[in-house]
Amino acid sequence: MSHPGQKRASAPSRRRYLVHLSCAPSGEGVHCRYVARIQPWAARCSSRTSSVERVFADDCELISAINPLLPQGSDVRDVFEHVESPNGFFYLLRLSSEEAEQFGWRPESTAGNAESASKHESSD
């Protein structure tokens, strides 16, 4: 018989992150840039809470990055209308450190290092 604590040690640790998906107008006017901002979830917001931003080349890149992280049966395409609205769309996701790094999040980001924001912009 195994103890529940043993299972946790073998599984990667997961943490809750707030992921804000939005669509910012591009310089061309017609198209938009899909943006994801990630920050650790905190019950109380702090002025020191930093976030990191990742810009996606297009909707296909956004879909391929977000969908594997969603619960089974969920699809980001179902909320595109909200993502493209002025307020965007928020997900509260349990992510491993490797999954959070896909959005540019680094453990040193928790120290309030705002200069790393927007470093992970996709190239066309």
Q: Is the dihedral of CA 61, 65, 71, 76 positive or negative?
A: negative
55 occurs within a structural domain: yes
Integer Cα distance of 25 and 34 in angstroms: 9
Question: Is the entire prediction scored with pTM above 0.75?
Answer: no
Q: Are 52 and 116 in contact (CB under 8 A)?
A: yes
For residue 98, the SS3 value is helix
More confident residue, 123 or 42: 42
Count structural domains, the chain: 1
In a domain, 8, yes or no: no
Is position 19 within any domain?
A: yes
31-60 pLDDT per residue, tens = 789 999 999 987 666 666 688 899 998 999
In one-letter notation, the amino acid at residue 95 is: L
Task: Give which of 57, 62, 61 is closest to 20, Cα–Cα.
Answer: 62
Range of the domain at 102: 13-107
